[in-house]
Structure 1
Amino acid sequence: MAVRIGRDDADELTENAEINITPFIDVILVLLIIFMVAAPLSTVDVAVELPTSAAPVQPRPDKPIFVSVKSDLSIALGEETVARPALGQALDQAAKGNKDERIFLRADKGVPYGELMQVLNLLRSAGYLKVGLVGLEDTGAGGQP
């Protein structure tokens, strides 16, 4: 509560109802500085390794169609090596034209992620949208099989 002093014509003191906002501004500035320092620290870069999967094993179809990306970046459909432009046509023959057939994609551990995405794009452009990624099962004994 503030009191005005300095009036010559008033004998009694009157109350001043104005809010002092200086401490409020100080608190806001301190909070601004804290958030400016803390915001860059909240982003973290994480190295990722994807060696195994602990997902339950799904039942295997009678004749699965495997597309493999080898370590030399060549593509194999089943056991036969296929050129990238001919992958769609070879898949049509293997799936007998059924675009709803699930394609199992597996890649060597050393294959760059970008190359794997290019093969996924080839599958998508050929009309095969049901793609399963094949990995090693996690045996639970130390993480690595």
Structure 2
Amino acid sequence: MEVSVFNMRYSRKRSFTDGRPMAEINVTPLVDVVLVLLIIFMVTAPMLQMGIDVNLPKVKSRSVDVNEEKVVLTIDGAKEIFVNKTKIPLTELGPRLEGVFANRLDRELYMRADRAIPYGFVVEVMAEVRKAGIDKLGMITEPPEEVK
């Protein structure tokens, strides 16, 4: 019995493309990456909102769209002052605001103050804001609850 050498060799299986580059896009890794990015954005989006909790006064007024580009000064219930989530003592507020608004064309500041803060303290903060040269000061409030 003879076994031929031809049958024992490996025969190279010819690919479908004959050495040409494959023209198909594998979509599965693309879908995986998009889903992971979607999950990341869904988790991080709630964390991007303004973070200091204050109990704002409720009044009827025109609504103001405060986005991330606006400078927001917040006074919480413990009389702590924050400028865009950065805690600042009252004595340093004027120089810090001058530094924040040094390169800005719009000298507009929005203030959020807890309703439990005494009026006198809010006026002190507003005086420091005026000393820093802020042209416009807007007060942020919440709309009142409607009785049904």
TM tier, shorter chain?
0.5 to 0.7
- Please give the per-residue CA displacement for 1:45-72, whole angstroms capped at 9, x wherever unaligned: xxxxx93122221343551111111211
TM-score (structure 2 length as normaliser):
0.54
**Counterparts in 2 of 1:99 and 1:115: CA distance versus 1, 3 Å:** farther
Q: Which runs of 5+ in 2 are unaligned?
A: 1-55
Q: SS at the partner of 1:53?
A: coil
Aligned twin of 1:30? none
Provide the residue aligned with 1:107 in structure 2. 113
What's the % identity of the aligned pairs?
20
1:63 to 1:82, Cα distance in 2 relative to 1, 3 A: same
Instruction: Report which stretch shifted further, 92-101 or 119-128.
Output: 92-101
What is the aligned residue count?
93
Higher strand share: 1
Query: Structure 1, residues 62-101: CA drift from partner, whole Å, max 9, x if none?
Result: 5111111121112111111101121122223323444742
Change (3 A) 1:99 1:127: farther
Larger gyration radius, structure 1 or structure 2: 1
Corresponding position: 1:142 with 2:135: no
Which segment is superposed worse, 124-133 or 58-67? Answer: 58-67
CA RMSD, aligned part only? Answer: 2.4
Higher relative contact order (CA 8 A, sep 6+): 2
Normalization by structure 1: what TM-score?
Answer: 0.55
Q: Gapped runs of 5+ residues in structure 1?
A: 1-49
Structure-2 residue corresponding to 1:80: 86
What one-letter code is carried by the residue in structure 1 that aligns with 2:59? S
1:119-130 correspondence runs (5 A): 119-130=125-136
